[in-house]
Structure 1
Amino acid sequence: MASGITTTGTSPANAGAGESATDRRAIAQNFDQFLLLLTTQLQAQNPLDPLDTNQFTQQLVQFASVEQQIKTNEMLGSLLTSTRASNVATASSFIGKRIEAGGNVATLADGQASWSLDLPRAASRAVIEILDETGQVVATRTQSLEAGEQSYVWDGRTDSGAQAPDGAYTIRVQARDTAGEPVEVSTKFSGVVDGLDLSGAEPILLVGKVRVPLSEVTGVSQT
């Protein structure tokens, strides 16, 4: 599959920056109007009944607080923009490389799909099932598994002996030890990144049809 990058919509950080600029213009206009009204009131006040200074002092403080909040939002927006740019650059560097991430879905391509299985103790009998995108079991294998992390590679052959089409497949493992007790099996998958989806807040790595958030990548290597 040819590598590609998907981008849609407006960046949240850019949208926030536009809103902050609009808010700043609005508060500036309101503040100018407030000062004009205040000056007019002071000029026209009755010397025998002067305005309550506490009221307009409180209003000044409120305006200052709002302006400070807008400045804070602008700083956060700039930080988000910088972070996003850094994440995009990092995600782009993964294209063409093999990654590893938590999950039980892997892509079958060129007659191979691989997962990493991790067991706290050895399993004398493990039933490994491969399911297609509709949830149907297409291949079943029975074997023993060692304790610790190990690789499991499926050659794409179904139970009927046919070659399964390329696509996303799910692995399901039911393992038991020599005493017949269940053994928990955690799974990771590996595959080559062939595209990116940058439409959301976090870059998504595309491994065939499998979508992997950048934050969930646990390993990377050259193909």
Structure 2
Amino acid sequence: MAVGSVGTTGTSANALSRQTIADNFDTFLTLLTTQLKNQNPLDPLDTNQFTQQLVQFTSVEQQLKTNDFLEAMMLATQNTGNTQAVSYVGKIVTASGSKSELVDGKATWNFAVDKPADISVTVRNASGDVVFTKQGSVGQGESTFNWDGIGDDGSKKPNGSYSITIEGRDQDGNLVDVLTEMTGEVTGVDFSGSEPVLIVGNARVNMSSVLSVRDDGG
């Protein structure tokens, strides 16, 4: 079972920003106090500018607190999703096979046809844009489509979730049903992608593609 690390870049940046704001605020107060002590009583300083700076410091501090809160919510959601994914291990799942996770130049889809067919494969990214197409032929039964992550434009596509559409036609040109659902036992979970991926036999199934879950016993 592969377990990915949880990034802390955002938290570290927030901590650094907060320290910088605190240092600047201390410096600001020191300057303000010094100027107030040494101001000319006959020509007192205009406090409007100082008031505006105080408001700015307060606004930035509130924004940092908001960022901390949002990061905490995202981390809690991620941990909940990971815990749920682990609970699938040993269970029998039925999942849509239209989605797969591209990780380090490899994505795999499983499908089946009830008769030999010529197929047309279309791969789309998370935004729904077509990134790869291919034609080929398969025999009756289950088949596997592997993609190396290289798009039709020759560029290497980023890791992430991709969906597949497969159209099949027999030798007479009639449409053939293509089954992209699959059922099997979850033997592991991969957390290296943008969402947990369940290992089902030789297939990789995005957790968001799961349609049903049941115990191995029935």
TM band (smaller chain): 0.5 to 0.7
- The normalised TM-score by structure 2 is 0.64
Checking the alignment, whether the CA contact within 8 Å between 1:94 and 1:193 is kept in structure 2 is: yes
Where 1:194 maps in the other structure, the secondary structure is strand
The answer to whether the 8 A contact 2:195-2:206 is kept is yes
Alpha carbons 2:198, 2:205 under 8 Å: kept: yes
In the alignment, is residue 6 of structure 1 matched against residue 5 of structure 2?
Answer: no
Instruction: Determine the C-alpha separation between the residues in 1 that align with 2:209 and 2:95.
Output: 6
**What is the correspondence of 1:10-29 to structure 2 with a 5 Å cutoff?**
11-12=6-7, 14-29=8-23
Structure 1 residue 116, shift from structure 2 partner: 7.7
1:139-197 C-alpha deviation (Å, 9 max, x unpaired)? 513xxxxxxxxxxx64xxxxxxxxxxxxx714966258xxx764775632233222112
Which of residues 60, 66, 72 is equivalent to 2:66? 72
8 Å CA contact 2:111–2:180 kept in 1: the answer is: yes
1:199 counterpart = 2:204: no
State the one-letter code of the partner of 1:140.
Answer: G
Q: Please report the RMSD computed on the Cα atoms of aligned residues, expressed in angstroms.
A: 3.7
Q: CA deviation at 1:205?
A: 1.5
Task: Give me the whole-angstrom Cα distance separating, in 1, the residues matched to 2:86 and 2:27.
Answer: 49
**What's the CA shift for 1:92?**
0.3
Q: Does 1:218 align with 2:211?
A: yes
Letter in 2 for 1:32: D
* Structure 1: runs of 5+ lacking an equivalent: 107-113, 118-124, 142-152, 155-167
Match of 1:32 among 20, 26, 32: 26
TM-score by length of structure 1 reads 0.62
Greater radius of gyration (CA): 1
For 2:201 and 2:195, the matched residues in 1 are separated by: 18
The percent identity for this pair of structures is 42
Instruction: State whether residues 126 and 174 of structure 1, in contact with CA within 8 Å, keep that contact through their aligned partners in structure 2.
Output: no
**One-letter code of the match for 1:216?**
S
